[in-house]
Amino acid sequence: MTRRYLLPLAVTTMTAVLTAGLAGAPTATGAPATGASWRADLSIVDDDDSGVTSDGGTVRLDRAAPTPASARAAVRTGFLQLAPHQLDTPANTVAAAVRSTVPNGAEVAVDVRGAVGDDQWTEWVEARPDAPAVLPTATTTVQVRLALTAEKQSPEVRELTLTASTTKTFTTQAAGLSYRIYATREGLVGGTTANGHVIKSRDHFVALPSRRGLAANNSGTYSVRVCASNGRCEWAPVWDVGPWNTKDDYWNPSSTREMWKDLPQGKPEAQAAYQDGYNGGKDQFGRTVANPAGIDLADGTFWDGLQLADNSWVTVTYQWTGSGPAGYVRTAGDPLNVRSGATSTATQVGLAANYAMVRVECQVTGQSVTGSQGTSSIWYRIASGKYVAKAYVSGVSGATTC
C-alpha cells in the first residue's frame, strides 16, 4: 500500500513515526508557515549510514540490517544520514513530506538536528505527520536522517522533501542534564549496535533507550559522562539503542518526551515498570522488565572506565544537552586517561573513550604532552578534579583559564 505523508508546519511536540496504520495525510490546523524547501538526495549511501541500501533513489533496509544489540528486540533497524543542508536564514522548524511504502510491522521516521557549533549538534528530533521537528535553537545548518525499522518486510522511501521555517526562539541549557540511573553491562561481544558498530572485547560506548541521542559509528556527537559512586567517570559515545525500550528519551521533559509522558523527567520507563509496576511492569514490547536499567555500558566502560563489579546506580550527564566549550577525544583507538591533575603522573580517575565528546570547564598549564593533536602543555578540566591533555582533544574553542 503506497501513501504520501505530508507533515504540516503547525508547531506542537517533537515526535514522529510514519507507519502503514496511518489513514492518510493529516491536515494542518491553521495556516501553515512558509519557508525554504528542498528535496533530499536519497541515492547516496556512505560510511555514515548503516543497514540501508539505495536503488535508483529508493531507500530500503539492507538484508543484513542489524537488530540493536542492547534492545534485545527482533526489529531490523537502518539509518540514512543525509549531508548537512545550509539554509539562507536561521530556522528552528523543519517539516517533511515523505512518499513511501510502509508494510505492516514496519516504520519510517524522519529525524532532524541543527548545528550549534563546531562539531556540535542538537539532539535528533522527529518530524511527524501532525507536527514538524522543532529544534531548541535556530540554526543555518540542519541535517536530516531517515530511520527505517521492520519486523519482516522492509519499508521503501522514494521521495523526501523538507521545509525549514522559524517559529518561537529557544535557548540551550548552559549545563547538561544529569540524572542518577541504573546501569547494566551490555556485553554481547560480536553483536552489532544500532549504528552498525561491531562490539569488541572491552569496548567503550553506551546504549540509551532512544535513537534521539544515537551517534553515528565512529562519532561522538552524542556522548555521556557516566560517574560511579567510587568517584570514577567515563566519557563515552552513544552507539546503541536500549536497554528494554527504544523510544524512551527519559532525560527530556514530558512535553517533548517521545513516549511515557506521564513519567517524571529523568525516570526511565524500565525503572518505573520495575519499581512501581508502571505499564503493568512491562516495556514497550510487552516484556516483563527484570531490572530498572536506563543505560547499558559496554564492557570496557563498565570494567575499566568505572571499575564496576556488578550492575549499579550511576550518575549520567547527557553531554549534548549542554553548551559551552567542547571537544572530541582523538586517540589511536584506546581510551584516553583522565587524571586528577595536569600531569601524566597524576592518579587516573577515569577514562574518555576515543570519539567521545568532553565538555571543557576551563584549562590549565601542566606537563607537555605529544599526541594526535600535536604537542601542548595545556590540560582541560572536564569535571571537578578531572583533567585530560589537550594533545588528544580536538575542536575546543573559547576555554578560559581555571
For 57-105, write each residue's pLDDT tens digit. Answer: 999 999 888 888 887 777 889 999 999 999 999 999 999 999 999 999 8
User: Does the bond joining 243 to the residue before it have cis omega, within 30 degrees of 0?
Assistant: yes
- 97 versus 131: which is more confidently predicted? 97
Q: What is the pLDDT of residue 32?
A: 35
What type of residue sits at position 103?
Answer: P
Per-residue DSSP letter, 398: S
User: Would the pLDDT of 208 be above 90?
Assistant: yes
**How much is the pLDDT for 327?**
95
Of 173 and 374, which is predicted with more confidence?
Answer: 374
CA 210 to CA 247: how far, in whole Å?
5
pLDDT, mean of residues 141-154 = 93
pLDDT band at 173 (very low <50, low <70, confident <90, very high): low
Specify the higher pLDDT residue, 292 or 24. Answer: 292
Residues 250-270 have a mean pLDDT of: 95
Distance between CA 101 and CA 123 in Å, rounded? 27
**Mean pLDDT in residue range 216-241:** 97
Let me know if 311 is exposed, middle or buried by CB neighbors in 10 A (0-12, 13-18, 19+).
middle
pLDDT-derived band at 22 (thresholds 50, 70, 90) equals: very low
User: Could you give the domains of the chain?
Assistant: 2-165 (2.60.120), 178-321 (2.40.40.10), 326-394 (2.30.30)
pTM listed for this prediction: 0.79
Distance of CA 80 to the CA centre of its chain: 15
The pLDDT of residue 5: 31
- How high is the pLDDT of residue 161? 94
Cα–Cα distances in Å, from 375 out to 274, 389, 390, 398? 50, 10, 8, 19
283 contacts 188 by C-beta, under 8 angstroms: no
| Summary mean pLDDT of the chain | 88
* pLDDT reported for residue 3: 29
pLDDT of residue 168: 57
Q: What is the mean pLDDT of residues 111-139?
A: 88
pLDDT at 7 over 60: no
In degrees to the nearest 10, what's the CA dihedral of 280, 188, 393, 379?
80
Helices (H), 68-224: none
Q: What amino acid occupies position 39?
A: R
Query: Angle 162-166-169 (CA atoms, 0-180°, nearest 5)?
Result: 135
**141, 84 in Cβ contact below 8 A?**
yes
Across 200-215, average pLDDT: 97
- Does 312 score more than 60 pLDDT? yes
pLDDT of the residue at 306: 98
pLDDT 10s digits, 35-61: 689 999 999 999 888 999 999 899 999
pLDDT class of 12 with cuts at 50, 70, 90 = very low
User: Range with the lowest mean pLDDT among 4-18, 26-40, 269-283?
Assistant: 4-18
CA distance 82 to 142: 10
pLDDT tier at 175, thresholds 50, 70, 90: low
8 has pLDDT over 80: no
Comparison of pLDDT for 128 and 246, the residue scoring more: 246
Instruction: For the beta carbon of residue 237, count every other beta carbon within 10 angstroms.
Output: 31
